[in-house]
Amino acid sequence: MAICINDNGPGIPEADLPFIFNRFWRGERSRSRVSGGAGLGLAIAKLLVEGQKGRIAARSLPEGGLQVWVSFKAAG
Task: Average the pLDDT over 59-70 and give the result.
Answer: 92
Q: Across the chain, where does the E strand assignment appear? A: 2-6, 55-60, 66-71
Higher pLDDT, 65 or 34: 65
Which pLDDT value is given to residue 76? 67
Whole-model pTM: value is 0.76
Task: Average the pLDDT over 20-47 and give the result.
Answer: 74
CATH number of 2-71: 3.30.565.10
Per-residue pLDDT at 65 exceeds 80: yes
Which pLDDT value is given to residue 75? 76
